[in-house]
Structures are given as C-alpha cells and as structure tokens.
Amino acid sequence: MKKYTILSILAVLVFSLASCVSTKTTSYSDPDYNGKKFNSICVYADLDDFEMREKLETKLVKELKDLGVNATKGTEILPPTRVWTEEELKERLISQNIDGFLKVKINKTVIVDKMGRTTNTYSTDGDLALSKDKIKELAKSVNSNRTFLSNFQSELIDLKNNKLAWSASSNSESAESFKSSSNVVIGSLAQDITRELKEKGHLK
C-alpha cells in the first residue's frame, strides 16, 4: 500500500510541475520545401548560458532521435571555444554529412503580475533566464506571484542550398523562473518544436 501511495504522490508532483509550463509553436515552411524531409540535423542552441544550451540541445536531439532522425548537438560539431565564420560553419557541417541546421534562440522574457498587467519587459540577451540579481531587483516592485513569458525563434536551414526551409516562433509560459524549472520548460519547448517539424513534413 505504501508503495502505491508514494507512486501516486510522485505522479501528482510530476503532473503539477508539467502543468506549470505551456508552450505554443507557430511555424511556416518555405513553399520550395513543402514536405522536404531532413535526414541528419545539427541542433544549435544560440544561448550564452552554457548549462541551458547543453540542456536544450540534448533534449531536442533526444526528441529527434526518438523519431528516427539522425541528430547531433551543435556543441559536438561546433565547439564554443572557436569563432566560426558562416562559410567555415557550413563546410564543417557538410563534412559531417549534416543536411539540416536547426537553430534555436530566445528573443525576450516578459514578466507579468498575477493581475495580468505587464509590469516590465527585459531582453535576456541570449540567456534562457534573467540573472539572479535582476530577479531580486524585480522582487521589490513586482508581485511575488510572477509569470514568465518567453519567446523563442527557431530556424531550419538547408545547408546544401543555404536556404531557410522552415521558421517558427514559440511562446512558453512558466509560473517559475526558467532557472528553477528549466528542465520542464526545455522539455516542453523541445517537444513542441519537434511536433511542429513532424507535422510540416520535415521529419521521418
């Protein structure tokens, strides 16, 4: 009985955490790429925060591999210790038999109070979350029951022809800061991006 009780509690906790985050992705495919499937994709998270970058690339790669797509993290092919020109980046990826370059970045985070009134808008400057100092500063003027709204931009580039095949905008809503619930936020985002790519016919 105790075993089932513990499992039930864990299930409720997982559901509650997941329900704190929602993601909606809207995307468009270039007419020349309708139904075009990519067999080998490099996932590149354009984030300054290395921890968040690793988490997002890892999760997206897993979601793609689960669908049978050959996917690789950008950090494995394009180490952040180097500065890559556009031409060097393309040559490097093609040499690894990559045909699609999936780039994801965050545009901004908006903080909303419990009444739904936007109080402040901050650019995250390439990070997935606001800094701890900024959050402490906001705590003085913003209601403690904050909602974080973040907008992500995704692009799938055809490396052979150097053309944009697919573009998407994702909006994630979290009741917590992204640092404290980053795994759930990233999981929700990765699943939504993968689902959208699948529905547009770009995956197997």
Where do the domains of the chain lie?
19-199
Rounded CA gap, 71 and 31, in Å? 24
Q: What is the dihedral of CA 198, 201, 73, 160, to 10 degrees?
A: -170
Q: What pLDDT score was predicted for residue 66?
A: 96
Q: What pLDDT score was predicted for residue 130?
A: 52
Cα 19 to Cα 12, 15, 83, 129, 167: the distances in Å are 10, 6, 39, 19, 27
pTM, two decimal places = 0.78
Helical ranges in the chain per DSSP H: 2-19, 50-66, 74-77, 86-95, 132-139, 182-199
Q: What pLDDT score was predicted for residue 9?
A: 36
Q: What pLDDT score was predicted for residue 47?
A: 86
Q: What is the pLDDT along the chain (204 residues), one digit of tens a residue?
A: 444 444 443 343 343 444 478 899 999 999 999 999 999 999 999 988 888 899 999 999 999 999 999 999 999 999 999 999 989 999 999 999 999 999 999 887 666 655 555 555 555 555 555 555 655 555 555 445 667 778 899 999 999 999 999 999 999 887 755 454 567 778 899 999 999 999 999 998
Helix, strand or coil for residue 150?
strand
Q: Which residues touch 48 (CB under 8 Å, ≥6 apart)?
A: 125, 126, 127
Q: What pLDDT score was predicted for residue 192?
A: 96
Rounded CA gap, 71 and 116, in Å? 39
Fold category of 19-199 in CATH: Double Stranded RNA Binding Domain (3.30.160)
Asked whether the beta carbons of 166 and 27 are under 8 A apart, the reply is yes
Q: What pLDDT score was predicted for residue 135?
A: 52
Q: What pLDDT score was predicted for residue 4?
A: 44
Q: What pLDDT score was predicted for residue 2?
A: 46
User: E strand or H helix at 100, and its extent?
Assistant: strand 100-112
Angle at 143 between CA 105 and CA 183, to 5 degrees: 35
